[in-house]
């Protein structure tokens, strides 16, 4: 995208972290803001910050098809087709993959995957119609995945599955859009550890998908993620700037920590050489040893 003034941005998970920081840049570039979040107080706070801008703030659970359908209709009515859609809302989870309950799978896949599915299936047709009607019209969809969509770190399998699916969906979206238009593009955001509210995701877990008492592996995963996320050096604002650089440059992959791509290379070499997946702790064997010991002890 080249021109942002007066254009419309739809941002899910706008109440915190990357969503809020992306909203701040979108506002500074003169965009109309559609702010969505499932957490009402965070959404109200964000909307208050952008008073003076054109804002449509809406409490939406991105996992719910009917709420996302109502959102798309409201956006179309108020602003017309959005130029920028940031399908970003998501939640973290951990634990050995067989220990996650059905409710865990439904919660995480609902927010992380189905939220993106709904954003893509509902907004892309509006964007394509706007592009068809005006050869100068431009749009861009950014889906938030994770480095966990490129790698498979152990003891956080449900999250990995959700994020690999978002990478797959986004790469396919890029290819499918290229078949039909040059005016609407896609990107996938793959952050590594960045301090945000992600480690407190349970705060917004719906009652009907309530969590069971956490298992030992889930508690260990939570402690490790807390430590990794809280010691992240980049800020959410840094990542938001990277998102807009990618929009400016029409770039598909957005990696917050390019150094983490070394692990992707190893994984792909495992595949190419048909060898077993490399130990993810090969570079830090003491962490792997500690994790194995903690999980194997009674
Ligand atoms: N922070 C990291 O280290 C990191 C790394 C990789 C990927 N991510 C991804 O980044 C995205 C944004 O997370 P963040 O780190 O900014 O965390 P965050 O918790 O600060 O922000 C996420 C926002 O999404 C909202 N949300 C959660 N479930 C929702 C739902 N069902 N419907 C609508 N809104 C919902 C939350 O209320 C919150 O405001 C997520 O998809 C996350 O998986 C984060």
Structural domains of the chain sorted by starting position, each given as residue range(s) with its CATH number in brackets: 8-296 (3.40.50.720)
**Contacts for 108 with CB less than 8 Å, ≥ 6 apart:** 91, 93, 158, 159, 162
The partner residues of 56 in beta bridges, in order of sequence, read 34
User: Cα 261 to chain center, whole Å?
Assistant: 18
Whose C-alpha lies nearest to ligand 1, atom 40? 90
C-alpha 94 to ligand 1 mean position (Å): 15
Pocket probe for ligand 1: among 14, 15, 18, 88, the residue whose CB has the most ligand atoms within 8 Å is: 18
93 lines ligand 1 (CB under 6 A): no
**What is the pLDDT at residue 1?**
86
**What is the pLDDT at residue 212?**
85
C-alpha 284 to ligand 1 mean position (Å): 28
CB 33 within 8 A of CB 39: no
56, two tokens: 């449509």
Q: What is the pLDDT along the chain (298 residues), one digit of tens a residue?
A: 889 999 999 999 999 999 999 999 999 999 999 999 999 999 999 999 999 999 999 999 999 999 999 999 999 999 999 999 999 999 999 999 999 999 999 999 999 999 999 999 999 999 999 999 999 999 999 999 999 999 999 999 999 999 999 999 999 999 999 999 999 999 999 999 999 999 999 999 999 998 889 999 999 999 999 999 999 999 999 999 999 999 999 999 999 999 999 999 999 999 999 999 999 999 999 999 999 999 999 6
**What is the pLDDT at residue 298?**
67
Question: Which ligand 1 atom sits closest to the C-alpha of 147?
Answer: 6
**Which residues are designated catalytic?**
159
Question: Which ligand 1 atom sits closest to the C-alpha of 110?
Answer: 31
Measured between alpha carbons, how far is 296 from 199 in angstroms, rounded to an integer?
Answer: 25
Question: Which ligand 1 atom sits closest to the C-alpha of 62?
Answer: 32
**Residue 44 phi, psi dihedral angles, 5° rounding:** -60, -40
**What is the pLDDT at residue 274?**
98
**What is the pLDDT at residue 211?**
85
Per-residue 3-state assignment (H helix, E strand, C coil) for the chain: CCCCCCCEEEEECCCCHHHHHHHHHHHHCCCEEEEEECCHHHHHHHHHHCECECEEEEECCCCCHHHHHHHHHHHHHHHCCCCEEEECCCCCCCECHHHCCHHHHHHHHHHHHHHHHHHHHHHHHHHHHHHHHCCCCCEEEEEECCHHHCCCCCCEHHHHHHHHHHHHHHHHHHHHHHHHCCCEEEEEEECCCCCCCHHHHHHHCCHHHCCCCCCHHHHHHHHHHHHHHHCCCCCHHHHHHHHHHHHHHCCCEEECCHHHHHHHHHHHHHHHCCCCCCCCCCCCHHHHHHHHHHHHCC
Measured between alpha carbons, how far is 180 from 266 in angstroms, rounded to an integer?
Answer: 34
């Amino acid at each position: 995208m080249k021109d942002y003034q007066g254009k419309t941005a739809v941002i899910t998970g706008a109440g915190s972290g990357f969503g809020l920081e992306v909203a701040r840049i979108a506002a500074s570039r003169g965009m109309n803001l559609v702010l969505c979040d499932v957490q009402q107080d965070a959404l109200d706070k964000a909307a208050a910050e952008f008073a003076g801008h054109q804002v449509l703030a809406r409490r939406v659970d991105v996992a719910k098809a009917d709420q996302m359908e109502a959102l798309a209709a409201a956006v179309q009515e108020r602003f017309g087709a959005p130029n920028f859609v940031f399908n970003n809302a998501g939640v973290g989870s951990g634990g050995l993959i067989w220990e996650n309950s059905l409710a865990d799978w439904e919660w995480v896949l609902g927010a992380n995957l189905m939220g993106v599915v709904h954003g893509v299936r509902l907004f892309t047709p509006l964007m394509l119609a706007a592009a068809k009607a005006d050869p100068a019209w431009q749009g861009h969809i950014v889906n938030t995945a994770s480095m966990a969509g490129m790698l498979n770190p152990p003891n956080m399998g449900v999250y990995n599955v959700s994020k690999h699916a978002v990478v797959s969906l986004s790469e396919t979206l890029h290819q499918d859009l290229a078949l039909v238009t040059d005016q609407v593009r896609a990107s996938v955001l793959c952050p590594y550890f960045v301090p945000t509210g992600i480690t407190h995701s349970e705060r917004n877990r719906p009652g009907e998908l309530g969590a069971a008492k956490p298992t030992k592996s889930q508690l260990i995963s939570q402690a490790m993620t807390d430590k990794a996320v809280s010691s992240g050096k980049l800020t959410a604002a840094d990542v938001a700037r990277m998102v807009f650089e990618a929009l400016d440059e029409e770039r598909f992959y957005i990696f917050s920590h390019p150094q983490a791509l070394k692990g992707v290379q190893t994984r792909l070499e495992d595949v190419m050489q048909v060898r077993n997946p490399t130990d993810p702790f090969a570079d830090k064997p003491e962490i792997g040893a500690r994790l194995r010991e903690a999980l194997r002890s009674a």
